[in-house]
Amino acid sequence: MNILIVGSGVVGLSTALDLALSGERVTVVTRNYEEGASWVAGGMLAPLSEELEGDLLDLSVDSLNLYGDFIGRVEEVSGIKVFFEREGILRLGVEEEELGEVYRRAERYREMGFKVEKLGPSEIRAEEPYLSEKIEGGVLYGDEGNVDAEKLMDALLIAMNQLGVRIVVDDVVEVEKRDRRVESVKGLKDVYRADFYVFATGSWSRATLNLPVFPVKGQILKVKGPEPRKVCYSRISYIIPKEGYVLLGATSEDAGFDTRNTLEGVGSLIDGAVKVMPSLKEAELLDIKVGFRPGTPDGKPIFDAGDNYLVLVGHYRNGILWAPVSSRIALDLIQKGVRSRYLDSFSPSRFEG
């Protein structure tokens, strides 16, 4: 089967990887294969630290449990080692009010069967010596993880070449549909036809698919300095150790497709990180990056399936986390005719009227 995937973020390329490995002939059309949220993502795999609930939590846990095998496939095909670990994330309470809410929510997660460890002042500093003395506690969510998103995207692009997946750079301007069937995809350079279409168009989905998806600008800092042992997540900052550097993130701005690094944004990131981990004030600033998260009115993704197409958009803050489960939804539908329950949970019909 000839499959056309529109979009080359982590969801588009992960889906292309698994479909190509399953024997499908895959082409990816993208406006810019290094544009979008995936290249700038923090890479936290943190559904509990993010305080997700209901179907969002189910989707996240399902995807998190697929992650080890997913990274294994990416590494095997690309030959690239991707930093990935599931040693837990520290969800901190910077202020007393926040800490109380962190403990209450953690207890609910414990009752649901998740790995939860409540930490007081001495315990949390034994876990993370660099933390500010003002932080009096937090929770270690032992099931959560961390992946180097930039390295993952590099490896996925190399995997495309290894698998013979053609990547075409073109700006899609129209999707020609008749009822629940796509007839063609029109770009500025060409018209594309396939047996099946997958749309993973991220923040650009409103213009392409007329769906309520909008860009949420995020600035993130890459620094070299004191490295925490684990991801340290709080309302004012998240500090994410990688191999040889640390990410400090991230702003959340209603600024359209504004690519500028701003003093206000950078200043807020530095201020929050230093309050959590004072030794970071001596860190070397390596880079400042800007990306666009694909937001939706309710913060949930939009999944839709027609006769010969699948829409996987609106992943907002969790595109990296939800990539494996998004790919699984596509693989099951295209090869087995199995419709995921998440197609109903996150249908665009919820916005009608």
pLDDT digits (tens, 9 = 90+) for 176-231: 999 999 999 999 999 999 999 999 999 999 999 999 999 999 999 999 999 999 99
Which helix (H) or strand (E) is 94 found in, with range?
A: none
Read off the pLDDT band of 100 (50, 70, 90).
very high
- Rounded CA-CA distance 18/14 in Å is 6
Whole-number pLDDT of residue 119: 96
Cβ(268)–Cβ(217) under 8 Å? Answer: no
Q: What confidence score (pLDDT) does residue 97 get? A: 87
Domains of the chain, each with CATH number or no CATH: 2-80+149-212+297-351 (3.50.50.60), 89-142+215-295 (3.30.9.10)
pTM for the full predicted model = 0.96
| DSSP string computed for 96-157 | HHHHHHHHHHHHHHHHTT--EEEE-HHHHHHH-TTS-TT---EEEETT-EEE-HHHHHHHHH
pLDDT of residue 96: 86
Flag whether pLDDT at 353 surpasses 70.
no
Mean pLDDT of 327-350: 97
The whole-number pLDDT of residue 204 equals 94
Q: What is the spatial distance between Cα 78 and Cα 159, in angstroms, rounded to a whole number?
A: 4
Q: Compute the distance between CA of residue 293 and CA of residue 54 in angstroms, rounded to an integer.
A: 22
pLDDT tops 80 at residue 17 = yes
Q: What average pLDDT does the structure give for the chain?
A: 96
Is a pLDDT exceeding 80 seen at residue 111? yes
Looking at residue 5, what is its pLDDT? Answer: 98
pLDDT of 33 reads 72
Distances (CA, A) of 327 to 56, 58, 124: 16, 16, 37
288/270 Cα distance (integer angstroms): 11
Place of tokens 């315990």: 123
Asked if the model's pLDDT at residue 34 lies above 80, the reply is: no
pLDDT at 333 over 80: yes
Write the pLDDT tens digit of every residue in 259-310: 999 999 999 999 999 999 999 999 999 999 999 999 999 999 999 999 999 9
Is it the case that residue 128 has pLDDT exceeding 90? yes
